[in-house]
């Protein structure tokens, strides 16, 4: 096949040629699918270094195991993500311990208004919040969220990549979205609280919007002026009385 024909060839054809020992087809497949595999590993681990290592390991495995790929059972993309998943789990198990791979769930009640936590992502801040929220999910839910929502993989292909029934993908995806929505809402509340506190620190107004402290201080500051008017009048009267008055009259004014 010419270079142009290889570039246009389906993934399945490239894998078959790789199984036959053709390294040029491996290069084409690598250029075509490397970013997908890398993003999948990055979303699962949060580590660019691990994602790089996993991507390299995946395509080294392809050289060795290309003959084991069964066309029609899954897409090549799903097959590659399945290989990447195995490497990711090994790395996370080594670095964090097996117990952390399947963190305990917390039962959470989430408003049903927004079933899709990705629908309102309109800013870089929200995307970063999503990334952190996805990484905080238990791995079994993180995997389906990344495959189905971020990679836009079909349920059938996700099931092939995860080596589980389609029904399991659906149930994990539903639970994962619920957890993710809760985490996104919590993150939003924290950002709003932090912003409110920052505004209060700048303006001197508390986060509850009441400026009672300032009003009280202003009122207290005005009281001496209000009390000083009678005192001034008394002083003027005493000053007038003191002229031509006896010492006893002066003492009464000073009393």
The mean pLDDT value of the chain amounts to: 78
- Give the C-alpha distances (Å, rounded to integers) separating 10 from 13, 16, 84, 122, 147: 5, 10, 21, 35, 21
In a shared domain, residues 13 and 80: yes
pLDDT given at position 198: 74
Q: Which residue, 52, 137, 120, is CA-closest to 87?
A: 52
- On the question of pLDDT at 218 being above 60, the answer is no
- Are both 125 and 149 inside the same structural domain? yes
Q: The CATH number of the domain where 178 resides is what?
A: 1.10.10.10
- What pLDDT, on a 0 to 100 scale, did the predictor assign at position 99? 43
Range of weakest confidence among 78-92, 220-234, 241-255: 241-255
Residues 145 and 69 in one domain: no
**What percentage of the chain reaches a pLDDT higher than 90?**
50
pLDDT at 143 over 50: yes
Average pLDDT rounded to a whole number, residues 80-101: 83
Based on the domain organization, do 133 and 81 belong to the same domain? no
116 and 189 in a common domain: yes
**Alpha-carbon distances, residue 27 vs 9, 15, 41, 60 (angstroms):** 13, 11, 20, 12
- pLDDT at residue 3, rounded to an integer: 80
**Of the given ranges (11-25, 45-59, 104-118, 157-171), which has the lowest mean pLDDT?**
104-118
CATH number at residue 67: 1.10.1740.10
Q: In this predicted structure, what is the pLDDT of residue 62?
A: 97
Element (H, E) at 55: helix 48-65
- Looking at the predicted structure, is the pLDDT value of residue 108 above 70? no
Instruction: Write down which residue in 70, 101, 132 finishes a domain.
Output: 101
54 and 107 housed in the same domain: no
**């009281």: which residue's tokens?**
223
The answer on 145 and 71 residing in a single domain is: no
Q: Per mean pLDDT, which range of 66-75, 78-87, 111-120, 135-144 is the poorest?
A: 111-120
d(CA 148, CA 162): 12
User: Are 128 and 163 in the same domain?
Assistant: yes
Residue 120 phi/psi, 5° resolution? -100, 15
Say yes or no: 129 and 194 in one domain: yes
Angle at 155 between CA 152 and CA 160, to 5 degrees: 105
Which stretch of 173-177, 229-233, 245-249 has the lowest confidence by average pLDDT?
Answer: 245-249
Domain termination site, one of 76, 101, 126:
101
The structural domain count of the chain equals 3
Instruction: Give the residue from 101, 130, 161 where a domain finishes.
Output: 101
Helices and strands counted in the chain (H then E)? 11, 0
Q: Are residues 35 and 72 in the same domain?
A: yes
Q: Are residues 139 and 192 located together in one domain of the fold?
A: yes
- The answer on 179 and 161 residing in a single domain is yes
- Give the model's pLDDT for residue 236: 57
Least confident of 132-141, 149-158, 161-170, 244-253: 244-253
The pLDDT, as a whole number, for residue 119 is: 52
What is the span of the domain harbouring residue 218? 214-254
Question: What does the pLDDT average to over 109-121?
Answer: 46
Instruction: For residues 48 and 51, give the distance between their C-alpha atoms in angstroms, rounded to a whole number.
Output: 5
């Amino acid at each position: 096949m010419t270079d142009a024909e290889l570039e246009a060839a389906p993934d399945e054809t490239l894998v078959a040629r790789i199984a036959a020992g053709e390294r040029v087809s491996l290069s084409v497949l690598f250029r075509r699918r490397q970013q997908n595999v890398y993003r999948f590993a990055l979303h699962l681990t949060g580590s660019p270094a691990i994602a790089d290592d996993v991507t390299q390991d995946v395509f080294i495995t392809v050289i060795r195991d290309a003959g084991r790929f069964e066309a029609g059972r899954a897409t090549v993309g799903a097959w590659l993500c399945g290989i990447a998943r195995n490497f990711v789990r090994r790395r996370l198990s080594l670095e964090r311990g097996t117990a952390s791979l399947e963190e305990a769930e917390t039962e959470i009640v989430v408003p049903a208004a927004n079933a899709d936590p990705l629908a309102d992502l309109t800013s870089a801040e929200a995307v970063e919040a999503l990334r952190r929220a996805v990484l905080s999910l238990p791995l079994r839910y993180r995997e389906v969220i990344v495959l189905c929502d971020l990679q836009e993989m079909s349920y059938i292909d996700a099931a092939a990549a995860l080596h589980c029934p389609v029904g399991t993908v659906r149930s994990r995806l539903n639970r994962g979205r619920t957890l993710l929505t809760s985490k996104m809402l919590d993150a939003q509340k924290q950002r709003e609280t932090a912003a409110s506190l920052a505004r209060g620190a700048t303006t001197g107004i508390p986060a509850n919007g009441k400026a009672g402290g300032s009003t009280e201080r202003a009122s207290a500051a005005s009281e001496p002026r209000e009390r000083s008017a009678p005192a001034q009048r008394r002083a003027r009267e005493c000053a007038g009385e003191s002229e031509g008055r006896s010492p006893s009259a002066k003492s009464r004014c000073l009393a």
